[in-house]
Chains A and B, each alone.
Chain A
């Protein structure tokens, strides 16, 4: 171990001298870097780049997995998604609507609550690491465990949550059977499940804000709010862009919560776009329509990400 630490202390001057020299040294065979990259690039080409293009090709066909004929139909799959008289129009846009509702309802909580907890955990107190680890724990469990667990906790009759609410006089709620309770349940369990992830990222960002900035603000007479507004938030800017972008994408990908807890109900009110897409493509095997759906959803997300990026950049200047 000691051998690994010593060279890190080498001065920049020495490092500069050696990197100047490395042009003359015969470092490796010309083919070596390509050979090292080859296995990964093979995977990337086969399972990412190829499929991204192949998916476009599929979306231009009436691609029924079960039928031998897969006729080329041009943009018809896309037109059908926009044509209110087609059979797929209603389920698709209901799914898009459900996904939009979930994103709008969950993202504010997933961004703000972890920030508050991170500021709380950023204080120095015994057990800080332990608390941080505990808050992150649900995320490690994965959606299948969380899904069946909350399906039980939210059970109208036997569930722990209705039992606890009974003490404050709230009558039994049919979480999976009525709206808006179904959305409240899905957002609540998602916040509980993934809160630790954003908290940990915020904590790392908070650790990078120099203490002197807070000290200077205190000398200038800034209160807790002033320090939060003028030091914490600007200091977390890049972290916030990352958190907001990844949280929107994660919420737009919501699948397991609805699949396991509300089963898309009541009615089909919590059937998200991903559920509609997988049902159409991987259960009904209408792959052409499902591929077209995936590109339309991806386009929406791209637009949102770009808007988010531009807004955050403008605030900076």
Chain B
């Protein structure tokens, strides 16, 4: 796995050996470590606080001044939230999962086909098509809000998950990102396959995509996270309580239970645990994907 990434990808995030040698000469004193611990605390404590509160009782969460250690660990907030029919949190989780999965699969299929053609084939209009795709990267997304809302209405997609799955797949990032990766794959492999009589589809699915696995994982997980976390669009295109995704649902939960913080934090816990697990598992792909997007942009 590591072999594939470091060979085929032109820019890697890892520091060069020379750099390491230089920095290891520095002595990291106690001040450095105190700073790092404080920094880590700033980033971890709010997240721990969210999980801790979701297991508190209502009165415990409203104590002034507050106490760090809960009186008791209770599942009240989760029991309440799972039995609530006005705010079906489990259904929201399922909707989020369906929308994000379908969206990332659509992005992978559509972007890898277009990116392969743009990276490898000579055809009339290629330059124009690529320029238009790159151009859309610079257009702010909010200008599509009104026209796409009207389009969702015309297509009958308002208040459906399709509105979250399909339009976002027109984003240019996937095509741009995969094209860059494909350009780094040596042509010789495809040429020898051509001589053996393989057609374009076989070359793409049997040779290119397996080599591009790390890039596909990166794009897949970034698309999944982006869709799972999307807030503004679902808040406006979804209305029925049973059609919401977790982010849109959290907003209505906050509206309904104002200061019942254990219940709201329980909702936030349900929305955050799946993405944190995904992040811990695929952390390297996510961070490298973000890092390379910055270097090439």
Contacts and interface: CB of A to CB of B under 8 A. Distances in A.
Interface of A: 1-2, 4-5, 7-8, 10, 14-15, 18-19, 21-22, 25, 27-30, 32-34, 36-37, 39-41, 43-44, 46-52, 54-55, 58, 65, 117, 120, 122-125, 127, 131-138, 140-145, 147-153, 155, 157-158, 160, 163, 166, 192, 197, 200-201, 203-205, 207-208, 210-212, 214-215, 238-239, 242-243, 246, 249, 252-253, 255-256, 259-260, 274, 277-278, 281-282, 287, 290-291, 294-295, 297-298, 301, 305
Contact of B149 (A205, A238, A246, A282): A282
29 contacts: A4-B4, A18-B191, A30-B123, A37-B118, A39-B110, A43-B170, A44-B136, A47-B151, A52-B144, A54-B147, A54-B151, A120-B32, A123-B26, A124-B26, A131-B39, A143-B229, A144-B251, A144-B268, A148-B250, A149-B49, A158-B64, A204-B292, A211-B21, A239-B294, A239-B295, A246-B297, A277-B145, A291-B146, A298-B142
Contact of A259 (B16, B114, B251): B251
Interface string B35-47: 1100110111111
B247 interface: yes
A224 to B, nearest CB: 11
Contact of A141 (B151, B229, B295): B229
Given A5-B4, A47-B151, A211-B21, A140 B114 contact: no
B292 to A, nearest CB: 7
A287 B236 CA distance: 13
Contact of A205 (B145, B188, B294): B294
B73 interface: no
A25 B203 CA distance: 15
B34 interface: no
A283 B143 CA distance: 16
A34 to B, nearest CB: 7
A201 B283 CA distance: 15
Interface of B: 1, 3-4, 7-8, 11, 13-16, 18-24, 26, 28, 32, 35-36, 39-40, 42-47, 49-50, 53, 61-66, 109-111, 113-114, 116-118, 121, 123, 126, 129, 132-133, 136, 138-151, 153, 166-167, 169-170, 172, 175, 186-189, 191, 194-195, 199-200, 204, 210-211, 225, 228-232, 235-236, 246-248, 250-251, 253-254, 259, 261, 264-265, 267-268, 271-272, 275-276, 279, 283, 286-287, 290-295, 297
A144 B23 contact: no
Given A8-B8, A43-B166, 12 more contacts: A4-B210, A40-B170, A52-B144, A58-B150, A137-B276, A142-B230, A144-B247, A207-B15, A242-B297, A259-B235, A278-B236, A282-B236
A54 B146 CA distance: 9
A281 B142 CA distance: 12
Nearest to A161: B46
Given A149-B50, A192-B42, A136 B287 contact: yes
A123 B147 CA distance: 48
Contacts of A28: 121, 199-200
Contact of B143 (A36, A197, A294): A294
B142 A39 contact: no
A248 B231 CA distance: 20
B271 A145 contact: yes
B49 A33 contact: no
Contact of A140 (B8, B275, B292): B275
B150 A54 contact: yes
Given A28-B200, A55-B144, A7 B188 contact: yes
The prevalent SS among residues of B at the interface is: helix
A208 B14 CA distance: 9
A177 to B, nearest CB: 14
B113 A37 contact: yes
Contact of A151 (B36, B225, B254): B254
B145 A294 contact: yes
A307 to B, nearest CB: 15
Nearest to B291: A204
